[in-house]
Amino acid sequence: MNKNKNSFLFKDISSLKGVGKITKAYLEKKRIEKVKDLLCDLPHSIIDRSKISKIKELEIGKIATLKVKVSKYNFPRIRNLPNKVICSDNDNKINIIFFNSFEGYIRKVLPIGKDVIISGKIHYYKKNYQITNPTYIRLAEQKAELTKIFPKYSLTEGLNEKIYRSLIHNVINNISHDYDWYKKDFLKKNNFNRLKTTLNNLHNPVKKIDIFSNDYRRLAYDEILANLLVLLSSRKSVRSATKSKKIYQDKFSKILLNNFPYNLTNDQKLVLKSLDQDLKSEKRMFRLLQGDVGSGKTVLAFLAAANVIESGYQVAFMAPTEILANQHFDQAKKLFSSINIKIEILTGNTSSKNKKKIKLGLADGSIKLLIGTHSLFQKKIDFSNLGFIIIDEQHKFGVNQRVRLAKKGGDNCDILSMSATPIPRTMMLSIFGDMDLSILKEKPKNRKNIITLLKPENKISEIWPLIKKQLSEDKQVFWVCPLIDDSKKLNYSSAIKKFEIIKKKFPNESGLLHGSLDNQEKDKILFKFLKKEIKILVSTTVIEVGINFPDANIIVIENSNKFGLSQLHQLRGRVGRGIHESYCIMLYKNNLSQNAKKRLKILRKTNDGFLIADEDLKIRGHGDILGFQQSGIKDFRFADPIHHKDLFLLAEKQIKNMNIKDFKNYEDLINFYDRVNLVNDIAN
């Protein structure tokens, strides 16, 4: 391919003829900053002016092309009133309305008695069809100039459809025919056109763009591969330096195992073996441990931490919230009680006096395990010999953040991330393709299945006796509502309104938690719930994080049909963490659609988060399943993990067959899909 000849694609949009300061400003509102950005803005629909419609066939709100005879003018002499031209085909009439148009112009383009072709959006006013300021007008003998299929783009105010199409047309025409990042045999094997042909077909469609068409699939594949190449760059960056092997005899981890109330599952044993191999390897661990709610991820993290500590290194364990950090700290103190090692916790609320002690303990190496929030990685926090970083529930980290964290740990530092959000394979490739993956599906045998019940809201009275009974047995209840306040537009229950109702039924036993509270207030309420000062916690979805409340054995979810399956499964996982039988009660409105009923029944049938995630992906799409913004797949414009699953797998296969020299062949591809800055971040 001739890169230099096609380098104009990556220049500023103002380098194009006809794009001045004003047009550039309008284009930038559409996030079109470089020439190639125009090509990535595909038309959302088409205008088919090749079909001539009859007036009697017209649909209000649709764009139509008509062949009519000009019958009469109506030019009002009152200022600001529109000009009107009455046209007809046989016995049917249509009014053509003009605002801000001169009489002379109208007489010229619509001469009385002539057959004309008019195209525009159909309206209905005072029992007559009308077109206001028609898009195109031509005399019937000029039909060849008009009857075409045009792409329709989403344009901001100030951008002209005709000029916009012309810009795109000129850019495509200037691309070399032989310009591509793939070899001919690869394109032929996968039924892909060359880049110029692909873009030309997509911007000059004969029908509405189909995501299953070969040309669209070509762009989707490009985007997937660009994303995986960035992840490959990340993987190579993290593992480029060799590390010292961790040497240990499993003494500490065996002591911890003896303190466990249950035997490890087969899945846990396999994952522990993988962690051991990583720690003892000269290549750095960069692994994601993905496990369903209650599968025992934290236990494995502590076992690996024990081995690292035995080998003479320090360990940092980062949790997303202070309350979760405190729970991990309490659990660690119990598990490590038989081993004489120093464990500390560092959060935003740690006093200045304790911070100084912790800094000294980290510097002299006396603190072996530090648990905390993101405060662990402040600039002033220095470890003497950090060998292992554990990140809990940190799926919000993007690829560049993961790399920066890996570099902060130093060359001898292994990294383990954990996530309780089951994610289908195609999405895993796109989000965490730079990491090795371990999956925990099997749950410890002491875990009881959660009984899931579906209830219409008008039968809410049937729930109160069950709640009253559980409270009398010293159990606790979560009550989840979608909104904080009442909404007139949305028929959801509000957390505040429900809190008032529950407070009357169970005086002095309820608390309210929602996203508008600051972090200190949230933690204060959660601590009260943990200490059982609060028996019923009315909440929005802020309780989704992996906090452990062993005495909470009922969760009620209002308007459950408004949540995604994966989110409902995560919420359900807030109960069933103790030895008691637990219940998830999903309330719904009476007028549920068949599809909504089907979704809720899936949750009633299974507790398998991975199966639920797959179903959720099919039903709701990738935009809703993750519930977090920096997933990577959110940035995709063309690729879809449901409909393009085969392309994700094809890209994975191609990446596996690549070596570092091949990477240079795809520099333009990475640039075309705006991944180049990410690669530069990783390299620095």
Contact (Cβ atoms closer than 8 angstroms) between residue 113 and residue 70? yes
Calculate the CA 479 to chain-centre distance: 26
Name 77's Cβ contacts closer than 8 Å, sequence gap at least 6: none
Q: Considering 175, 191, 209, which residue would you say is the last residue of a domain?
A: 209
- Please indicate, yes or no, whether residues 105 and 170 belong to a single structural domain of this protein: no
62 and 121 both lie in a single domain: yes
Q: How far apart are CA 343 and CA 210, in angstroms?
A: 57
- The token duo for 332 is 């660690």
Say if residue 41 is in the same domain as residue 58.
Answer: no
CATH number of domain containing 518: 3.40.50.300
The residue that leads in pLDDT, 639 or 393, is: 639
Greater confidence (21 vs 489) lies with 21
DSSP secondary structure string for all residues of 425-440? HHHHHHHHTTSEEEEE
Query: Is 684 contained in some domain?
Result: no
pLDDT at 622: 46
Count of H helices and E strands in the chain?
A: 25, 22
Q: Is the pLDDT of residue 249 over 50?
A: yes
Give the up-direction half-sphere exposure of residue 599: CA atoms within 13 A in the CB hemisphere. 24
Is a pLDDT exceeding 60 seen at residue 487? no
Of 428, 403, 424, 421, the C-alpha closest to 286 is: 403
Q: Which CB contacts under 8 angstroms, 24+ apart, belong to 308-311?
A: 308/246, 308/248, 308/279, 308/387, 308/388, 308/414, 309/252, 309/341, 309/368, 309/369, 310/248, 310/249, 310/250, 310/251, 310/252, 310/253, 311/246, 311/247, 311/248, 311/279, 311/387
Tokens at 93, concatenated? 């009439």
Residue type, 198: T
Task: Judge whether 308 and 388 are in contact, CB under 8 Å.
Answer: yes
Number of neighbouring beta carbons within 10 Å of residue 355 = 15
Q: Are residues 39 and 55 in the same domain?
A: no
- Residue 527 burial (C-beta neighbours within 10 Å; 0-12, 13-18, 19+): middle
Residue 626: band (very low, low, confident or very high) from pLDDT cuts 50, 70, 90: very low
- Per-residue confidence (pLDDT) for residue 683, from 0 to 100: 46
- Is the pLDDT reported for residue 405 higher than 90? no
Number of domains in the chain: 4
pLDDT score for 135: 81
Query: Per the domain annotation, does 635 fall within a domain?
Result: no
User: Are 197 and 274 within one domain?
Assistant: no
Q: Is the pLDDT of residue 267 over 60?
A: yes
Q: Are residues 118 and 197 in the same domain?
A: no
- In the predicted structure, residue 199 carries a pLDDT above the cut 70: yes
Q: State how far the Cα of 464 lies from the Cα of 441, in Å rounded to an integer.
A: 34
Q: For residue 92, list its beta bridge partners.
A: 89
Indicate whether 358 and 282 sit together in one domain: yes
Question: Is pLDDT of 627 > 50?
Answer: no
Residue 436 above 60 pLDDT? yes
| Residue that terminates a domain, selected from 564, 590, 606 | 606
**Residue where the block lists tokens 């414009």:** 637
Q: Once rounded to an integer, what is the mean pLDDT over residues 382-405?
A: 72
Residue 614 forms part of a structural domain:
no
Using CA atoms, how far residue 192 sits from 185, 198, 215, in Å, is 10, 8, 7
Query: 244 in a domain, yes or no?
Result: no
Q: One-letter amino acid identity for 62?
A: K
339 is a domain residue: yes
Say whether both 30 and 64 belong to one domain: no
Calpha distance 451→470 (Å, rounded): 14
Q: Residue 623: its pLDDT value, please?
A: 43
Q: Taking 90 as the threshold, does the pLDDT of residue 499 lie above it?
A: no
**238: confidence class by pLDDT, cuts 50, 70, 90:** low
Q: Return d(Cα 93, Cα 57) in angstroms, integer.
A: 12
Per-residue pLDDT band for 486 (boundaries 50, 70, 90) equals low
Residues in contact with 539: Cβ distance below 8 Å, sequence separation at least 6, in sequence order: 478, 479, 480, 481, 495, 512, 513, 514
pLDDT band at 613 (very low <50, low <70, confident <90, very high): confident
β-pairing, 286-291 with 436-440? parallel
Within-domain flag for 182: yes
User: Which amino acid, residue 238?
Assistant: V
* Statement: the pTM of the whole predicted model exceeds 0.85: no
Checking DSSP bridges between strand 450-456 and strand 582-588, what pairing results, if any? parallel
Label residue 131 by pLDDT band (50, 70, 90): very high
In a domain? residue 416: yes
* Token output for 574: 């807030």
CATH number at residue 116: 2.40.50.140
Task: Look at residue 631 in the predicted model and tell me its pLDDT.
Answer: 40
Residues in Cβ contact with 565 at an 8 Å cutoff, skipping those fewer than 6 apart: 599, 602, 603, 612, 613, 615, 616, 619, 620
Among residues 266, 337, 336, which one has the least CA distance to residue 303? Answer: 336
- H or E stretch including 500? helix 495-505
- Each residue's pLDDT tens digit, 329-366: 988 998 898 888 999 999 888 888 998 999 899 989 99
In 3D space, the residue among 457, 377, 453 whose CA is nearest the CA of residue 410 turns out to be: 377
What are the phi and psi torsion angles at 271 (to 5°)? -65, -40
Domain end, chosen from 587, 606, 625, is at: 606
- 3 confidence band (pLDDT: 50, 70, 90): low
* Together in a domain, 554 and 574: yes
Structure tokens given for 615: 């179903």
Residues 376 and 507 in one domain: no
> What are the pLDDT digits (tens) for 288-317?
888 877 788 889 999 999 999 999 999 999
Cα angle: 77, vertex 81, 85; to 5 degrees: 85
* CA 252 distance to own-chain centroid: 40
Q: What is the pLDDT of residue 632?
A: 42
679 falls within a domain: no
Do 57 and 74 fall within a single domain?
yes
Q: Confirm if 431 and 631 have CB atoms less than 8 A apart.
A: yes
What residue numbers bound the domain in which 102 lies?
Answer: 51-147
- Supply the pLDDT for residue 303: 95
Please tell me the distance from the alpha carbon of residue 156 to that of residue 171, in angstroms, as a whole number: 20
- Are 132 and 161 in a shared domain? no
Residue 291 has a pLDDT of 82
What pLDDT score was predicted for residue 203? 93
Mean model confidence pLDDT for the chain: 82
